[in-house]
C-alpha cells in the first residue's frame, strides 16, 4: 500500500472494496471473452482442420482417463451401497442407485473434472506459450483471426466432446457397478442390466448430458481465457495453467449445483 | 534533428507516438516516416523500444498517444477486422521468428495462403517451397517442425513466411542476428532485392552497421523513446550525434 | 526461437505422437460399444442372455420397489424391474425379470411378502403344477397382494369399526382375504 493510504477500518473497507471491484471486473472480462468466443464459434469462417484436431485432442485422447475413472466410480459406488446401504436393505436397489448416481451426477462431474485437469491446463499452456513467443501476434499479421483459429475450435470441441465422453462414462460406470454387484451379492448381470434400463428415465441421462455440455464450455473457456491472458514468460504460462485447471474445476462444481437445482424444479 | 531525407510520399508515418509500460516510458513522442519504396534501418541499443515501435505501427500494441499513418490514412484506431484486412499487404519477421510450433515449416510459410487467401494446400505448399528457396532452405526442411530447426533456420523460415504473399510493406526485426556471415549476406541481398525489384517499402531493425549500410536507404537512430538521428545511409559516417558516432566507431565513450 | 518447454505436436502427428492413448481410446470405445450392445440385447427381447420378463397385477403393491427381489422357496430368482399403475383398472402392474434358468409353471402364484415391519417387500412365487411354463413376457395371473399389516392389527384390536376393506385383489385366487400366517414369518 502506498504511503498515506488509509489504515484501520477505512483501509480494510477500501481493501474489500478494491477486491470486490477487481472480482467484478474479472467477471466482466471473462464474460466479454466468452461472448466474443461464442460469436467466433457460431459464425463463419471456420477452420475445420483445427476443429477436428481439437476433437481429437480433447475428446478422443481423453477416452482412456474418462473410461477408467467411470469404471472405478461405478464400482466404488456399488461397493458403498453394499457396505453402507445394508442398514436399510439398499443392496436390493444397487443397480438403480448406481445408474442414477452415474447418469445424473458422477458421470458428468467426474468426466468434467478429469478434463479440467487434462484439457483446460493443456489449452492454457498452449495458448499461453503462443502468446509468450508472439505466435498469436504473428497470426494476426498473417490476416488470420486468432479467436477463430485458436479459441473457437477449442470451445466447439470441448462443448461437444464432453457430453459424448459422459455418455461413454455412463455406460462404463454401469459396467463397473455390475461387476461389483456380481462379486458381492451374486446379482446376475442380466438382472442388473434389466433393472438399470427399466429404472432409468431418459431425463436422467439427458440432464447429465446438458450439464456436461455446460461443463465442456467452461473447460474450453477457462483454458483459452487463462492462456490468452498469460503474462511474464514461462512462469506466467505455468501460472495460467494452474489457474485454468483450478478455476474450471471450481466453476464446474458451482455450475453443477446451480443446474441440478434448476433441474430439480422442472 | 528528424528531417525527412527524401521527397517520396510517406508509406508509413509515426506522429508523436507515446507508449509506456507502467512506469517504463518506452516511446516518448516518436516521429518517423518511411517513403514509399524506401528501405529504412532502425538502429538503437537493446531495450530502447525498436520492437515496440514496429508493433505499435502494426497495431499489435496500442499506442498511448499519437498516431500511425499508413498510406496517409490514420490506422491507429482501426477496427480489428479492418486492421486484419490491411495486413494483406504487410509482411512481418518477428525478432524471435514466432513460428507456429504445431505446424510444419511449409504450413508456417504458407499460413496466410491457406488460412486467409483460400489457396489449396497443394498450391500453398509449392509456393512455400519456392519462398524457402529464396532464404536458402531446401525442400527437405518443408515437412520438419520448428522445434527441429536451429535458431538461424527458424529466422529464415520466418523471413520466408513474411515475404510469401507479395506484400508491399515489410518489417524485419533483426533479420540477420544470429546468422553466419554468408547466410546473413544472402538475407540482406534478398531484402535489397525485394525492395528494389518489387518496389516494397521496408523497415528493418538491426544492430549490424554493415547490414544497415547494405540494405538501407535511410537510417534512423532510436534512443530514450525518440528518434535522435535520421538521415541517408551515406551520411552515417559524417553524423555528429554522439550515439551514432559510438555505433560507427564501436566505442561507447560519451554515451550515457 | 521457439519454446523449449512446450512442444505441441502437429495436427497430423497427434495420433502418432500419442500412439498409446490412441490405442487405449479405441479399446475404451470398443468396450463401451460391446457392453451397450450386450445391455440392449438383454433388455431388448428379455431373453437372449439369461433373463426374461414377466408381469403380474396386484390390487395392492404397498411398499414394493423396483429392484426388490423375486424368490422361489426363499431363493432369489429374479427382481422387480418396474412398478406402474394400469390407468383403467387401477391395478398395480409389476414387471419382474427372471433368471433364464428358472422356468415357472403357468399356474404359479405370485405373492407380495413383507421383509419386516420397516423393511421393503419382495415377491415370493409359489410354483404351480401345470405342465406348461410361462413364456417370456407372460403374466402370472394368480396373485396375492400385500397384507395391510396395520389394517389387520386395527381389525383385531377394534373389531367393531366400520367394515374394514378387504385387501382387494385382481384374481379369484386372492378372493380369500390374505391370512394372518404371513405375520407369523415376521
Ligand atoms: N509486452 C510488454 N510488457 C512490458 N514491457 C514491455 C513489453 N514489451 C516491451 N517492453 C519493454 O519495452 C522496452 C523496449 O522493448 P523492445 O522494443 O523489445 O526493445 P528493443 O529495442 O531491444 O527491440 C523494454 O524495456 C521492454 O522491457
Ligand atoms: Mg527488439
Domain locations in chain C as residue ranges: 8-43, 51-146
Whether the predicted pLDDT of B111 surpasses 90: yes
- DSSP three-state, residue C163: coil
DSSP assignments along chain A, one per residue: --TT---HHHHHHHHHHHHHHHHHHHHHHHHHHHHHHHHHHHSS---HHHHHHHIIIIIGGGHHHHHHHHHHHHHHHHHHHHHHHGGGTGGGGHHHHHHHHIIIIIHHHHHHHHHIIIIIHHHHHHHHHHHHTTHHHHHHHTT--HIIIIIHHHHHHHHHHHHHHHHHHHHHHHHHHHHHHHHHH---HHHHHHHHHHH--HHHHHHHHHHHHHHHHHHHHHHHHHHHT--SHHHHHHHHHHHHHHHHHHHHHHHHHHHHHHHHH-
- Between helix C19-44 and helix A152-185 the angle, nearest 10°, is 60
Closest residue in A to C47 (Cα–Cα): A190
CB B27 within 8 A of CB B49: yes
Look at A76 and B88; give whichever has higher pLDDT.
A76
pLDDT value for B234 = 87
pLDDT value for C45 = 45
pLDDT value for C116 = 59
B152 occurs within a structural domain: no
Q: Which residue has the cell 462404463?
A: A172
For C28, the closest of A64, A95, A199 (CB atoms) is A64
Quote the CA–CA distance of A263 and B128 in Å, as a whole number.
54
pLDDT value for C150 = 61
Q: How many CB atoms lie within 10 A of CB C116?
A: 10
pTM recorded for the entire structure = 0.79
CATH of the domain at B81: 3.40.50.300
Report CA-CA distances (Å) from C84 to A80, A194, B223, C56: 29, 16, 86, 11
B163 occurs within a structural domain: no
Average pLDDT, chain A: 90
- Between helix A107-115 and helix A202-228 the angle, nearest 10°, is 20
For chains A and B, count residue pairs whose Cβ atoms are closer than 8 Å. Answer: 62
Query: pLDDT grade, residue A6 (50/70/90)?
Result: low
pLDDT value for A9 = 81
Whether the predicted pLDDT of A99 surpasses 50: yes
CA A30 and chain centroid, separation: 16
* Ligand 1 first shell, C-beta below 6 A: B 21, 24, 26, 44, 46-52
CA max distance for chain C: 99
Over residues A233-255, the mean pLDDT reads 93
Closest residue in A to B88 (Cα–Cα): A143
User: Partners for B (CB, 8 Å, 3+ pairs)?
Assistant: A, C
Closest residue in C to B97 (Cα–Cα): C1
B191 occurs within a structural domain: no
Nearest CA to ligand 1 atom 6: B21
- Domain that residue B30 falls in: 1-89+169-175+200-256
Residues 71 through 90 of chain C touching chain A, CB cutoff 8 Å:
78-79, 81-82
Look at B10 and B13; give whichever has higher pLDDT.
B13
Residues 99 through 118 of chain C touching chain A, CB cutoff 8 Å:
99-100, 115
pLDDT value for C101 = 81
Task: Determine whether the interchain pair B100/A143 forms a contact, defined as Cβ–Cβ distance below 8 Å.
Answer: no
User: What cell was used for A177?
Assistant: 457397478
B158 occurs within a structural domain: no
Tell me the pLDDT tens digit for each residue of A102-138. 999 999 999 999 999 999 999 999 999 999 999 999 9
Whether the predicted pLDDT of B26 surpasses 90: yes
Whether the predicted pLDDT of A96 surpasses 80: yes
CB A189 within 8 A of CB A175: no
For A137, the closest of B60, B80, B84 (CB atoms) is B60
pLDDT value for C130 = 87
Rg of chain A in Å (alpha carbons): 22
Quote the CA–CA distance of A166 and A162 in Å, as a whole number.
6
The rounded percent of chain A whose pLDDT value lies above 70 is 97
Ligand 2 is an ion; its neighbours by CB within 5 Å are B 51, 95
Question: What is the tally of structural domains in chain B?
Answer: 1
List chain C pLDDT tens, one digit each, 186 residues: 333 333 344 445 555 667 888 889 999 999 999 999 988 877 654 444 577 889 999 888 877 877 788 888 877 788 888 888 889 988 899 998 888 888 899 899 999 887 655 556 889 999 988 889 988 888 998 888 766 666 666 666 666 655 544 444 444 444 444 444 444 333
pLDDT value for A59 = 93
Over residues B42-55, the mean pLDDT reads 93
From chain A, pick out residues whose CB is under 8 angstroms from the CB of B112.
Answer: 142-144
Average pLDDT, chain B: 88
The rounded percent of chain B whose pLDDT value lies above 90 is 55
Amino acid at each position: 500500500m502506498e504511503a498515506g493510504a488509509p489504515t484501520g477500518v477505512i483501509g480494510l473497507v477500501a481493501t474489500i472494496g478494491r477486491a470486490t471491484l477487481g472480482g467484478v471486473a474479472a467477471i466482466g472480462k471473462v464474460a466479454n471473452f466468452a461472448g466474443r468466443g461464442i460469436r467466433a464459434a457460431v459464425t463463419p469462417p471456420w477452420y475445420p482442420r483445427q476443429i477436428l484436431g481439437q476433437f481429437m485432442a480433447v475428446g478422443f485422447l481423453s477416452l482412456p482417463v474418462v473410461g477408467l475413472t467411470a469404471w472405478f466410480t461405478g464400482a466404488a459406488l456399488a461397493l458403498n451401497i453394499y457396505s453402507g446401504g445394508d442398514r436399510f436393505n439398499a443392496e436390493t436397489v444397487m443397480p438403480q442407485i448406481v445408474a442414477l448416481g452415474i447418469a445424473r451426477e458422477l458421470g458428468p462431474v467426474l468426466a468434467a473434472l478429469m478434463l479440467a485437469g487434462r484439457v483446460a491446463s493443456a489449452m492454457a499452456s498452449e495458448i499461453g506459450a503462443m502468446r509468450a513467443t508472439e505466435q498469436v501476434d504473428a497470426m494476426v499479421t498473417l490476416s488470420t483471426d486468432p479467436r477463430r483459429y485458436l479459441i473457437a475450435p477449442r470451445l466447439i470441441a470441448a462443448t461437444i466432446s464432453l457430453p459424448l465422453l459422459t455418455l461413454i462414462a455412463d455406460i462404463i460406470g454401469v459396467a463397473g457397478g455390475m461387476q461389483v454387484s456380481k462379486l458381492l451379492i451374486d446379482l446376475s448381470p442380466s438382472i442388473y442390466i434389466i433393472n438399470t434400463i427399466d429404472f432409468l428415465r431418459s431425463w436422467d441421462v439427458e440432464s447429465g448430458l446438458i450439464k456436461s455440455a455446460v461443463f465442456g464450455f467452461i473447460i474450453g473457456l477457462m483454458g483459452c481465457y487463462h492462456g490468452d491472458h498469460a503474462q511474464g514468460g514461462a512462469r506466467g504460462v505455468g501460472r495460467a495453467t494452474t489457474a485454468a485447471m483450478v478455476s474450471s474445476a471450481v466453476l464446474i462444481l458451482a455450475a453443477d449445483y446451480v443446474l441440478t437445482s434448476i433441474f430439480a424444479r422442472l | 534533428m528528424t528531417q525527412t531525407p527524401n521527397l517520396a510520399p510517406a508509406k508509413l508515418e509515426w506522429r508523436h507516438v507515446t507508449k509506456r509500460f507502467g512506469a517504463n516510458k518506452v516511446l516518448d513522442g516518436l516521429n518517423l516516416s518511411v517513403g514509399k519504396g524506401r528501405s529504412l534501418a532502425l538502429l538503437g541499443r537493446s531495450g530502447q523500444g525498436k520492437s515496440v515501435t514496429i508493433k505499435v505501427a502494426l497495431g499489435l500494441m496500442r499506442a498511448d498517444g499519437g498516431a500511425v499513418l499508413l498510406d496517409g490514412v490514420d490506422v491507429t484506431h482501426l477496427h480489428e477486422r479492418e486492421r486484419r484486412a490491411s495486413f494483406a499487404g504487410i509482411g512481418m519477421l518477428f525478432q524471435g521468428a514466432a513460428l507456429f510450433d504445431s505446424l510444419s515449416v511449409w504450413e508456417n510459410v504458407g499460413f496466410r495462403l491457406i488460412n486467409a487467401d483460400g489457396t489449396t494446400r497443394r498450391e500453398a505448399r509449392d509456393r512455400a517451397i519456392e519462398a524457402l528457396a529464396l532464404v536458402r532452405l531446401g525442400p527437405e526442411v518443408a515437412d520438419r517442425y520448428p522445434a527441429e530447426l536451429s535458431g538461424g533456420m527458424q529466422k529464415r523460415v520466418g523471413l520466408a513466411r513474411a515475404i510469401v504473399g507479395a506484400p508491399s510493406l515489410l518489417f524485419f526485426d533483426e533479420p540477420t542476428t544470429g546468422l553466419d556471415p554468408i547466410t546473413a549476406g544472402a538475407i540482406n541481398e534478398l531484402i535489397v532485392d525485394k525492395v528494389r525489384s518489387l518496389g516494397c517499402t521496408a523497415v528493418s531493425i538491426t544492430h549490424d552497421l554493415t547490414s544497415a549500410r547494405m540494405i538501407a536507404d535511410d537510417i534512423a537512430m532510436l534512443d530514450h523513446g525518440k528518434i535522435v538521428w535520421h538521415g541517408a545511409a551515406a551520411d552515417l559516417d559524417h553524423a555528429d550525434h554522439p550515439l551514432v558516432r559510438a555505433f560507427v566507431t564501436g566505442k561507447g565513450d560519451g554515451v550515457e | 526461437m521457439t519454446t523449449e518447454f512446450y512442444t505441441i505436436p502437429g495436427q497430423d502427428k497427434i495420433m502418432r505422437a500419442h500412439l498409446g492413448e490412441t490405442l487405449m481410446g479405441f479399446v475404451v470405445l470398443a468396450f463401451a460399444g460391446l457392453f451397450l450392445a450386450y445391455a440392449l440385447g438383454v433388455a431388448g427381447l428379455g431373453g437372449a442372455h439369461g433373463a426374461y420378463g414377466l408381469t403380474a397385477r396386484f390390487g395392492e403393491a404397498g411398499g414394493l420397489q423396483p429392484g426388490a427381489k423375486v424368490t422361489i422357496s426363499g431363493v432369489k430368482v429374479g427382481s422387480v424391474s418396474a412398478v406402474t399403475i394400469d390407468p383403467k383398472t387401477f391395478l398395480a402392474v409389476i414387471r419382474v425379470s427372471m433368471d433364464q434358468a428358472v422356468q415357472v409353471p403357468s399356474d404359479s402364484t405370485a405373492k407380495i411378502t413383507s421383509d419386516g415391519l420397516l423393511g421393503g417387500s419382495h415377491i415370493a412365487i409359489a410354483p404351480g403344477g401345470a405342465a406348461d411354463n410361462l413364456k417370456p413376457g407372460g403374466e402370472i395371473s394368480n396373485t396375492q397382494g400385500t397384507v395391510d399389516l396395520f389394517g389387520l392389527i386395527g381389525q383385531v384390536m377394534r373389531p367393531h369399526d366400520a367394515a374394514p376393506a378387504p385387501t382387494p385383489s385382481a384374481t379369484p385366487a386372492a378372493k380369500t382375504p390374505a391370512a394372518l400366517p404371513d405375520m407369523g414369518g415376521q
